[in-house]
Structure 1
């Protein structure tokens, strides 16, 4: 199975970034910690934009990404988060060519 990565950038409405994080923690954090397909996951705040959030997922094949959106809580997570975002999120799928400590 090939490894993949996903870069996501969310732009929260002004002053709503912490609320978006709380929703992510409420729904996604525990799932991600236990998900076998998620090799690494970084959820962080953009240091140059006070309203931006960046998530970077490194997963094993397409299943890691697809399983996330098939969780029973995902529609609620998406709806609650969308209400706090300033616009559509940016999604970029990445095919690693080199990975420190492992083969791509």
Structure 2
């Protein structure tokens, strides 16, 4: 049985943050402290990409693919997420941009 997500299944959430100038490394450190362990332990996350923008030194984007929309909502209540949100807020230039997507095609893994 494959553990690969199937097209049309689950939900993808794309979150983009703009940090205050020169705070991206501090935001990343907080993400690694709080979020990386929580994501690794979360069976609802089928895939997660934490990305630093090559063209904007103050921009971070996370692509998160969840098993279900309910898994995405439930993760927002995780204590690590709440702590991360509290600690990172003073380092951000504003609220994140959040988009929810339904995958229609996914390249299978090898």
TM-score, with length taken from structure 2: 0.86
Asked if 1:11 is matched to 2:18, the reply is: yes
* Cα offset, 1:76, TM superposition: 2.0
The equivalent residue for 1:83 is 90
Give me the whole-angstrom Cα distance separating, in 2, the residues matched to 1:34 and 1:73.
11
Q: How many residue pairs were aligned?
A: 102
The equivalent residue for 1:32 is 39
SS at match of 2:91: coil
Unaligned 5+ runs, structure 2: 1-7
Asked if 1:69 is matched to 2:76, the reply is: yes
TM-score, with length taken from structure 1: 0.90
| Residue deviations 1:43-93 (CA, integer Å, cap 9, x gap) | 010001000001000111113312221112332211111110011110000
CA contact 2:11–2:67 (8 Å) conserved in 1: yes
Unaligned 5+ runs, structure 1: none
The two structures, once aligned, show a CA RMSD in angstroms of 1.6
